[in-house]
Amino acid sequence: MRSLTINGETHEVDVEGDTPLLFVLRDTVGLTGTKYGCGIGQCGACTVLLDGQAIRSCQMPVDSVDAARITTIEAIERDPVGAKVVAAWVGVQVPQCGYCQSGQVMAATALLKETPKPTDEAIAAAMTNLCRCGTYNAIAAAVRQAAA
C-alpha cells in the first residue's frame, strides 16, 4: 500500500510501483477526468499538477510521486487560477469533442500560476498538448482571456 495526496485527500492504493500515475488515478481511484491518449508523453491528455507543476501522468511511475500534492481536473476550480481558466474555456467555447481539454485546462492553469501574463511565445512553449479537433486557436484565445 502506498499513500497519495490527490486533490487534498489521502488515498491508499495497492499497485505496483511502476504503474503510471495516470492509471492509478483513472482505474484505482476512479478520477476519470484525466485522460489516456497516447501513453508516451506525446499528447498531454493525461496532464495533472504535481505540486503545482504540469506533468504528464502517463510518464510518472506512482512510486516517484512520493508525498507530492496531486491536483486533477476534478478539483481545478478550487484553485482561483483554475477557476478563471475554466471560465475562459466556457466563455470562448473552446471544446469540440472535448477529450483533450482536461489536459489543456491543466496545462493552462500551470502556465498562468507560474506566469500570470504570458507572452504568445510563453503560451506556445507551455501549451504543447495535442488536439485532434484543431481547437488550438480557441485555446490560445482562452488562455489570453484568462490572463487578462
Partner 1 sequence: MHDLLPTAPAGGPARADAPVRNLSRRGILAAAGGALLLGVGVPVDPARAQSRAEGAGAIAPKPGTRVTAFLEIRPDDTVRLLSPFVEGGQGISTGIAQTVGEELDLDPSRFAVACAPPGPDYAVVNGLRLTGGSFSTRSSFAAMRRLGATAREMLLRAAAARLGVPQAQLATENGRVVHAASGRSLGYGALAEAALALEPREDVPLREPDRFRYIGKPVSRLDVRDKSTGRATYAIDLKVEGMLHAAVRHAPHLGTEPERLANEAAVAGMPGVHGVHRLPGAVAVTADSWWRARRAVEALEVAWSAPAAEGIATVSAGFSSGAMLAALKGARGTPLVAEQEGDVAAAFAGAATVIEAEYDAPYLAHAQLEPPSSIARFERDGTLDLWVPNQMPELFQSVAAKVAGVQPDGVRIHSPMLGGFFGRHFYYGPATPFPQAILLARATGRPVRVLWSREEEFASDAVRPLGFARFRAGLDGTGMPVALQAAAVGEGPIGRWFGAIFKQPVDSSVIEGLDKKPYAIPNRRLDYVRVPHPVTIAFWRSVGHSMNDYFYESFLDEIAQAGGQDPFALRMALLKDSPRHRTLLQAAADLAGGWRRGPFAAPDGSRRARGVSMASPFGSETATIAEVALQDGEARVHDLWIAIDPGSVVNPAIVARQVESAAALGVSATLLEQVVYEGGERQARNFDAYPILDRGRMPRVHVRIVASGAPMGGIGEPGLPGVPPAIVNAVAALTGQRIRSLPLSKERLSGA
Contacting positions for partner 1 (CB under 8 A): 15-16, 19-20, 23, 26-28, 30-40, 42-43, 45, 72-74, 76-77, 86, 89-90, 93-102, 105, 124, 127-128, 130-140
SS (H, E, C) 63-129: HHCCCCEEECHHHHHHCHHHHHHHHHHHHHCCCCCCCCHHHHHHHHHHHHHHCCCCCHHHHHHHCCC
Closest approach of Cβ 104 to partner 1, in Å? 9
Q: Tell me, what DSSP letter sits at residue 26? A: I
Closest approach of Cβ 60 to partner 1, in Å? 13
Closest approach of Cβ 24 to partner 1, in Å? 8
- The residue among 3 and 137 lying less far from partner 1, judged by its C-beta, is 137
Closest approach of Cβ 36 to partner 1, in Å? 7
> In 10 A of CB 63, how many CB atoms?
13
Task: Please tell me the distance from the alpha carbon of residue 125 to that of residue 14, in angstroms, as a whole number.
Answer: 36
- The residue among 5 and 42 lying less far from partner 1, judged by its C-beta, is 42
Amino acid at residue number 17:
G
Separation in Å, CA 123 to CA 51, 119, 129: 20, 6, 11
Closest approach of Cβ 32 to partner 1, in Å? 4
